[in-house]
Amino acid sequence: MPGNDIQTLWPHLLNTDDAGVAIKTLDGRYLFANLGYARFACAELDRITGHTDAEFLAPERVGAVTAAHEEAKIRLDGVNIECAFQTDRGPACYVVTHFPVLDDGRKLVAVGVVAVEAEGALRDHLEAELALKSANQANAQLASEVRNLEELASTDRLTGAWNRRHFETALEAEIHRALRFGHPLSLVMFDIDHFKLVNDNFGHQAGDRVLTEFAACIRSGLRKSDSLTRWGGEEFIVLMPNTPGSAARTAAERFRKMVAAQDFPPFGALTASFGVAQFVEGESIEDLLGRVDAAVYCAKDAGRNRVEVDTTGASLPATAEHVEGHFIKLSWKDSFASGHALIDRQHQGLFDVANEILAAVLSSRPRDEIAEIVERLIADVVQHFKDEEEFLASIGFVELEEHAEEHGRLLDKAQRLSAAFHEDSLGVGELFQFLAYDVVTRHILGADRQYFPYVAGHD
C-alpha cells in the first residue's frame, strides 16, 4: 500500500483497535502506539512507547520489522511485510506496512506503521508460508549436519588433512581427468625424519602437536588446486592436479625448506624426506603410490632432508617449466600438434603470446603495456575459437555444441578478469594463471584433443 494512501486513512486508523497503528522516530524509537499495535506486538503499551523493536518484540520478528522500517526511509514509500507467529491465543498472521511521514516541505520526519490481522485465505497463505519457512530451516540444518558428517568421514581429526579413504577417491577422479584431458598429474609424498624421537622424548601429546603444526606448515604452501592428506603416522601426501613432475619437484623443494626453517615446540627443528612421482598412463593407483613411496625411501637412504624424484616410470612430455615464483613458461612440443595447419599455427601463437605476457611481468613492464598484450591474447583467442568452430562444423564434429559452450564460458571469464585488471582490482598473477593455463594450456591440451583424431584428411 503506498504511503500517501495510508496517510489519507490516518485519522481513522489512530482511533481504531481493528488495526495496529504506531509512529516511530527515524532511529526506530516509538513515539505512539495504539492498543491494536500492542496486540500485534504482544506487549503492553508502556513497553512500546519510548522503546525500539529489539526491546519488546520477539527476537525472530525484530529483523523483518527493522528492515522494513529502514527500507521505507530509503524508498520514501510504503513497504509491506507479512508476519506469522505464535501467540498465547494460537497462530497469528498480520500484514504490516511501514510508510514515510513527511512534513509540508516533503521532508522525512518519522515512520508510520500499520499492522492489520489477516483473515481467511490470506491467513491460510501466511500459515503455509510459515510452515514452509520452518521446513526450509529444518532442511538447511539437516544439510549442515550431513556436511559435517561427510567432513568428519573424509578428514583426519588431528591435522585437518584428508584421510586415506578420501584421498584414494579423489586420486581416482583426478586420474580419470588426466586421461580424458591429457593433463599431467603428480604426487608428493613425505615423511618426518626421526619422528620417533619426538614421541620417545616428549610424549605422544607433544607428538600430536608437532603433527598438527607440521600439517599447517605444509598447507600454507599449497596452491588452491592442491590437497593435503595424512597417509598414516607421520607420513603425508600432496595431490597436485595439472602438474608435471618437474613442477611437483620444485614444490616439494619449497615444502622441504619451509619445514626446515620452522620451529616445532617442544621438539625444535625438524626435517622431512620427500618423494615425487608423475602419473603415467596405463599404470594402476597402486603402481603410482608404490613409485612415490619408493622415492621417499630413496630420499631417506640418501641422508634425509632431501627431495627424490621417481625415475622408473616413463615420463610424460612436460607442458611447462618453472621460471620464477609461481609463474610458468609454456613450452610448445611437436606432440601438441593436431595436424591441421591453421589450428596448430594458432595454438603455437597463443603459447607465444602467453609467454610474452610472462616476460613483461618478470621484466616489470608498465601495467598498461601488459594490458595491451593481454588484449592481444584475448583477440587471438576469439579468432582462434571462431576458426576452430567453423572447422569442426565442416567435419561434422558431434561434440561441437558442447565445445562451443566451453569457448563461451572461457571468453566470458577472460573478459571479466581483463576488465578487473584494467580497473586495478585484480593482480596480474591471477589473470596470467587463467589465460595461460585455463584458456591456453588446459584447453589446447585437454578439450581440443577430443577432435584431433578427426583432423586427418581435412586440413
> How far out from the chain centre does Cα 448 lie?
26
Residue 386 is predicted with a pLDDT of 93
Q: Architecture of domain 321-454 in CATH?
A: Up-down Bundle (1.20)
Decide the pairing of beta strands 307-309 and 272-278. parallel
Q: Are 210 and 198 in contact (CB under 8 A)?
A: yes
pLDDT above 80 for 447: no
Instruction: Give tens-digit pLDDT for 32-85.
Output: 888 888 988 898 988 998 899 999 998 888 999 999 999 989 988 888 888 888
State the chain's mean pLDDT as an integer. 81
pLDDT above 90 for 186: yes
For 164-318, CATH number out of 1.10.3720.10, 3.40.190.10, 3.30.70.270, 3.30.70.1230 equals 3.30.70.270
Instruction: Name the pLDDT band for 183 (thresholds 50, 70, 90).
Output: confident
Q: Give the count of beta carbons closer than 10 Å to the beta carbon of residue 221.
A: 15
Question: Taking the domains of the chain in order of start, what are their residue ranges?
Answer: 3-118, 164-318, 321-454
Residue 457 is predicted with a pLDDT of 59
Contacting residues for 165 by C-beta, under 8 A, at least 6 apart: 153, 154
Cell 581427468 belongs to which residue?
177
Which is nearest to 392 in space by CA: 457, 456, 454, 337?
454
pTM over 0.95, yes/no: no
pLDDT above 90 for 86: no
Residue 445 is predicted with a pLDDT of 66
Contacting residues for 426 by C-beta, under 8 A, at least 6 apart: 417, 420
SS3 340: coil
Paired with 95 in beta bridges are: 82, 116
**Domain 3-118 adopts which CATH fold?**
Beta-Lactamase (3.30.450)
pLDDT above 60 for 121: no
Q: What is the DSSP code (8-state) at residue 398?
A: T
Q: Exactly one of 174, 234, 308, 388 is catalytic; name it.
A: 234
**CB burial class (10 A; 0-12, 13-18, 19+) of residue 77?**
middle
Element (H, E) at 23: strand 19-24
Residue 271 is predicted with a pLDDT of 96
234: annotated active-site residue: yes
